Amino acid sequence: MNKTWLLVKTMLKMQYSKAGTSQSQIWLYVVAGIFLLPVLFILIPAIQMLVTAMYEVLAPANQESLILGMLLLGLHILLFMISLVTVINSFYFAEDIQSFIPLPLQPYQLLLAKAANPFLYLYLTAGAVFLPVFYFYGLASDASFLYFLYGIPVFLLLPLIPFTIASLLLMPVMRFVNISKNKDRSKVAGGILSLLFIIFINVLIRLNTDTDGLVENVALSLQEGDGLLRMLTIYYPPAYISTLALSNPLSLTGILSFAGMIAMSAAALVLFLWMGQLLYLKGLLGTGSGNKRPTASKKVQKKISARPVWLSYLQKELRIIFRTPAFLMQCVVQSLFGPVFIVIILMLDFENNSFSGLLGGFSGKQTILLLFIATVFIMGSNGTAISSVSREGKNWHANLFLPLKPAQYFFSKIAAAWVINLFTVLLALFIFVFFLQLPVGTLLAWLLVVLLASWFTSAVGTYLDFLDPKLNWTDEQEVFKWRITSLLSLLITAGPFGLIVLVLWRVNAVEGLYVTSLVLLVILAISILIIHQLLRKKINTNWQQQI
Amino acid sequence: MIEIHDVSKNFPSRNKAIDTLNLTVPDGKIVGFLGPNGAGKATTIKMMTGILPIDEGSITLNGRDIAKEPIAAKKIFGYVPDAPDMFLRLKGMEYLNLIGDIFDVPKELRQTRIEQLTKQFNIYDALNDHIQTYSHGMRQKIIVTGVLLHDPAIWILDEPLTGLDPKSSYMLKEMMREHADNGNTVFFSSHGLEVVEQLCDEVAIVNKGKLIFYGTIEELREKYQSDQSLENVFLELTSDE
């Protein structure tokens, strides 16, 4: 156990090491924290109002346990979804595990240590939702001391079951996709599968929502105490018994449920460790090795090609993104996840055919403004631009000793982010053509505006990453984790452009689709010039790009 | 020729990592760069190659100042870093093409050189594999091939022989000799004293950021006790007392 604890501490230390973190970066977090405070001041009273109001409505019908049931079930689903992504990232994508494999440690010990960081994240997420609702429910129901006491283990055990379910689903998948020769490719396949699974669950939930049957069930369930709770959590006992334990802590049912919940969690832990011991290392081991077959001279000759440096460098960027599982997932797959999700949901509801008229009520000017800000918002958070410099890691030195002008490689880096954004643009185009059935003129105007906007967001992300890059990583995941750059990039792109859209919306002097598009194009061109000037200034003050 | 004039470098954690270093690496010679761990070898090489900025002094490569004309200076040298773990997700051939594009190596020349060098180094059959799947020695070889591809006048090699098999190591040493004999500059750092003894025309020894010796091995032996091995001379020279 001591060794496991030591491993947990070491892995957490590696993840949260302050080594190489500048003072300014730490201050940035402090400032971000201060900005979040007002949000908390609004959010917490809002949660209190919601819980109290729901309690007042449900308590007379003896259905107040529904609040806790919804909370726990919702949290379990949320934590499960997050776990799918974190399990695959932490257990399989993080390369730091490689240095631990040769040590004389059991797979379950490695697994527990690797689970520490995802668990911290899960507790943070769960805490933000669970604690206020749990507390205000206790206040509203005038709960006993035991309720609050039970709350502690319920909260502490909360992530265990969803995390175990996610691991149980993924570990066998990774064990078997790892059979293939190319380990990177199988990692990506596993990652995409887990995202598809999230979409699949959503589709399943949507398809099973039968409104008429629901009303009937609700009516029936209302007639018995905790009936709604049972109806909601019938297929998911952990949420049911945790709620029973919390809502009747003094009764025998409550005590038994509490014991049941602890037993279930313990069983989940045992199952997790057992499966891990059985499958984890097998899913992890087996990197490919160099080709030993003779290569035909003709094949090699064919691959020799000369290209302009910017194109060659751009190709290198794209190759590295597409071949590094963590980069592919963060830069490409996850940025497409949102739009793909929307497409699938739209397709499910396509029978209603209500979307073609969705934008019908808006004028040409309003349509282009809406489409513009929506796509800028999606592209502003794209991972490619904000990791432009950081992705290089220790390779950054190569940019310094090779005879490359900084402007040259920054151009290629911005271009790489722009190319990746094209996937999002194409998906959006698909939605606009097939679901919203927009006229050709609007589509062309949007396309023009959005291609320029994409350059702008790519340049902003690259510039921000250059200001404060994270090069000293041991694992690719660290490039994206706990960094404020993505939020800043989103704020800088969506903020001012949101304002511009609002102003244009109101100003009567700008009317019509084409005039509005032209104004947007001009504003974008000026913005691009400004950001390029800023980048040039930064390059000039720091010619050697010391970071 | 590499000329290092009064170069100093400070780090926040360590003042005078390099202390007014003066060194001229002449053409036509192989110069070994020695020193204990933390003596300032890596810092010097990083300043020579433009990876680290120079706080004081200047470094020129064939007359080109690395700080003032970085692109022109960088075109003159080829650098093999101590850790060959670069561009791991690229295939060997893709890496060589990138280097060829950066250094403007014509396509026809590329074809001949790539084929010749990679066959000599025995990595020709692995050119279509990702560098990540290469062994340490193979990675070293692909980086060396990248350097030789653009045929620079100055070679700066940081521990170039680490991880190479005997045949490749012998070949690289032969290439270094030939390059120097053709009137070019070869500057390499090493911890392997036997290699230095066997290969170098001159050695530069640094300790605590200062140059403590520059000259031939014979001069080194003469200056200290001639009957001792190079290892003993080195240990004595760099000891703290």
Residues A73, A145 share a domain: yes
Instruction: Say how many C-beta atoms besides its own lie within 10 A of residue B166's C-beta.
Output: 7
**CATH for B222:** 3.40.50.300
Q: Taking CB atoms and an 8 Å cutoff, what residues of chain B touch A310?
A: none
- CA distances (Å), B13 to each of A456, B16, B21, in order? 39, 10, 20
B51 and A400: CB-CB below 8 Å? yes
A97 secondary structure, DSSP code:
G
B51 and A397: CB-CB below 8 Å? yes
A402 and B74: CB-CB below 8 Å? yes
> What distance in Å separates residue B237's CA from the closest CA in chain A?
32
Residues A344, A277 share a domain: no
> pLDDT, tens digit, for every residue of B110-140?
999 999 999 988 899 899 888 988 888 899 8
B102 and A394: CB-CB below 8 Å? no
Q: Taking CB atoms and an 8 Å cutoff, what residues of chain B touch A313?
A: 98, 101-102
Does some domain include residue A267? yes
Q: A294 — contact with chain B (CB < 8 Å)?
A: yes
> What distance in Å separates residue A156's CA from the closest CA in chain B?
41
Q: Taking CB atoms and an 8 Å cutoff, what residues of chain A touch B110?
A: 304, 306
Residues A525, A472 share a domain: yes
Residues A325, A267 share a domain: no
By C-alpha distance, the chain B residue nearest A288 is B133
A398 and B86: CB-CB below 8 Å? yes
Q: Which two tokens stand for residue B165?
A: 């098999």
Mutate to test the interface with A, among B44, B64, B89, B110 (most CBs of A within 10 A): B89
- DSSP for A52-88, please give it: HHHHHHHGGGT-THHHHHHHHHHHHHHHHHHHHHHHI
Q: How many CA atoms lie within 13 A of A211 on its CB side?
A: 0
By C-alpha distance, the chain A residue nearest B89 is A320
The size of the A-B interface in CB pairs under 8 A is 122
> What distance in Å separates residue A391's CA from the closest CA in chain B?
11
Cα–Cα distance measured from residue B33 to residue B140, given in angstroms and rounded to the nearest whole number: 19
- Nearest neighbour of B127 by CB, restricted to A295, A315, A323: A295
The region of weakest confidence among A370-384, A430-444, A479-493, B123-137 is: A479-493
Q: Which two tokens stand for residue A197?
A: 């699974």
Q: Which two tokens stand for residue B54?
A: 């120079």
B110 and A306: CB-CB below 8 Å? yes
Is the model's pLDDT at A123 over the cut of 90?
A: yes
Confidence label for B105 from pLDDT (cuts 50, 70 and 90) = very high
Q: Please tell me the total count of domains within chain B.
A: 1
Residues A517, A456 share a domain: yes
> What distance in Å separates residue B195's CA from the closest CA in chain A?
26
Q: A323 — contact with chain B (CB < 8 Å)?
A: yes
Q: Taking CB atoms and an 8 Å cutoff, what residues of chain A touch B55?
A: none
Mutate to test the interface with A, among B9, B47, B51 (most CBs of A within 10 A): B51
Hey, CA dihedral for A240, A246, A247, A249, is it positive or negative? positive
Q: Taking CB atoms and an 8 Å cutoff, what residues of chain A touch B129?
A: 290-291
- CA distances (Å), A343 to each of A339, A347, A434, B148, in order? 6, 6, 10, 51
- CA distances (Å), B208 to each of B9, B39, B44, B213, B215, in order? 12, 5, 12, 13, 19
Residues A249, A340 share a domain: no
Hey, CA dihedral for A501, A507, A510, A513, is it positive or negative? positive
ipTM: 0.83
A402 and B115: CB-CB below 8 Å? no
Q: Taking CB atoms and an 8 Å cutoff, what residues of chain B touch A319?
A: 89-90, 94
> What distance in Å separates residue A326's CA from the closest CA in chain B?
12
The mean per-residue pLDDT over the stretch A193-222 comes to 67
- Nearest neighbour of A324 by CB, restricted to B46, B89, B99: B89
Does some domain include residue B125? no
Q: Taking CB atoms and an 8 Å cutoff, what residues of chain B touch A409?
A: none
The mean per-residue pLDDT over the stretch A395-418 comes to 89
Q: Give the per-residue pLDDT at A296.
A: 66
Q: Which helix (H) or strand (E) holds A431?
A: helix A406-434
Residues A315, A218 share a domain: no
Cβ(B158)–Cβ(B1) below 8 Å: no
Does some domain include residue A289? no
> What distance in Å separates residue A1's CA from the closest CA in chain B?
35
The region of weakest confidence among A54-68, B85-99, B192-206 is: A54-68
By C-alpha distance, the chain A residue nearest B95 is A316
Q: A319 — contact with chain B (CB < 8 Å)?
A: yes
Cα–Cα distance measured from residue A397 to residue A395, given in angstroms and rounded to the nearest whole number: 5
Cβ(A240)–Cβ(A230) below 8 Å: yes
Residues A178, A254 share a domain: yes
Mutate to test the interface with A, among B54, B65, B99, B130 (most CBs of A within 10 A): B130
Confidence label for A287 from pLDDT (cuts 50, 70 and 90) = very low
Q: A312 — contact with chain B (CB < 8 Å)?
A: yes
Q: A144 — contact with chain B (CB < 8 Å)?
A: no
A304 and B124: CB-CB below 8 Å? no
The region of weakest confidence among A121-130, B114-123, B230-239 is: B230-239
A300 and B110: CB-CB below 8 Å? no
Residues A319, A280 share a domain: no
Q: A533 — contact with chain B (CB < 8 Å)?
A: no
Q: Give the per-residue pLDDT at A377.
A: 81
Residues A459, A361 share a domain: yes
Does some domain include residue A25? no
The mean per-residue pLDDT over the stretch A33-58 comes to 82
> pLDDT, tens digit, for every residue of B32-81?
999 888 888 989 999 999 888 898 999 999 999 998 888 899 999 999 99
Q: Please tell me the total count of domains within chain A.
A: 2
> What distance in Å separates residue A399's CA from the closest CA in chain B?
9
Q: Which two tokens stand for residue B26?
A: 């002449």
> What distance in Å separates residue B229's CA from the closest CA in chain A?
36
A295 and B70: CB-CB below 8 Å? no
Does some domain include residue B73? yes
Q: Which two tokens stand for residue B145?
A: 């091939």
Does some domain include residue B184? yes
> pLDDT, tens digit, for every residue of A135-176?
999 888 888 888 888 889 989 999 999 999 988 888 887 777
Confidence label for A288 from pLDDT (cuts 50, 70 and 90) = very low
> pLDDT, tens digit, for every residue of A301-344?
788 888 898 999 999 999 999 888 888 888 888 777 777 777 77
Mutate to test the interface with A, among B47, B75, B97 (most CBs of A within 10 A): B97
> pLDDT, tens digit, for every residue of A458-491?
999 999 888 888 888 877 877 887 677 777 888 8
Confidence label for A289 from pLDDT (cuts 50, 70 and 90) = very low
Is the model's pLDDT at A56 over the cut of 90?
A: no
- Nearest neighbour of A401 by CB, restricted to B72, B74, B103: B74
pTM, two decimal places: 0.75
A297 and B115: CB-CB below 8 Å? yes
Residues A480, A340 share a domain: yes
β-bridge pairing B30-34 and B185-189: parallel
The region of weakest confidence among A7-21, A139-153, A488-502 is: A7-21
- Nearest neighbour of A304 by CB, restricted to B52, B97, B132: B97
Confidence label for A103 from pLDDT (cuts 50, 70 and 90) = confident
Does some domain include residue A291? no
Which residues span the domain enclosing A375? 311-541
Q: A26 — contact with chain B (CB < 8 Å)?
A: no
Which residues span the domain enclosing B17? 2-85+154-238
The mean per-residue pLDDT over the stretch A504-520 comes to 85
- CA distances (Å), B179 to each of A67, A190, A323, B146, B169, in order? 79, 50, 37, 16, 15
Helix (H, G, I), strand (E, B) or coil at A117: helix
Residues A393, A256 share a domain: no
